Structures are given as C-alpha cells and as structure tokens.
Amino acid sequence: TARAWKTEIDMDALHGEELLGAGWLVVPVKDPADWTDGDADRLVAALGELRSTDFRRESDLGRFIAGDEPYLVR
C-alpha cells in the first residue's frame, strides 16, 4: 500500500490482518511454505470476517465544487 513505509514488515504478525491503504484494503498472507499451526485457520477467519462486511471507502469531493452539498465518490 501507499502506507507500507509506516508498517513494520513482520509477516508472522501481519498474516491475515487488515491493513488500510490509500484506497485499498490489504490482507497480507505469509508464504504457505512458512505456515505454522494455526496460520491457515487465522487466514480463513480473517477472510470470512472481511467477506461478512460491506467494506468501502468514500471521499467527499464536495470541497472542490461550489456550495455546501457533499459529493461522495467511492
């Protein structure tokens, strides 16, 4: 993501965790060859949780046009 430089790269800690980027949601996944007990379950649970939500990013671009009405874009 555009914010990767702010994130310590520790794949044991990041595996299956949601990282918000600038417009993207990233879920890092360790190399399956490096998985240990629980890594598969952790990833399945994280992706199941993500799929149960309605993740979306919106931005109000109304600040760039005349008036005080919001102009929301996805």
Contact partners, residue 16, CB within 8 Å, separation at least 6:
27, 28, 29, 39, 42, 43, 45, 46, 47
The reported pLDDT for the residue numbered 14 is 83
Alpha-carbon dihedral sign for residues 41, 44, 47, 49: negative
DSSP 16-48: T--EE-SS-EE-----GGG--TTHHHHHHHHHH
The reported pLDDT for the residue numbered 58 is 75
The reported pLDDT for the residue numbered 5 is 67
The reported pLDDT for the residue numbered 23 is 67
The reported pLDDT for the residue numbered 54 is 75
Task: Give the start-to-end residue ranges of the domains of the chain.
Answer: 4-73
Query: Which segments in the chain show pLDDT lower than 70?
Result: 1-5, 22-23
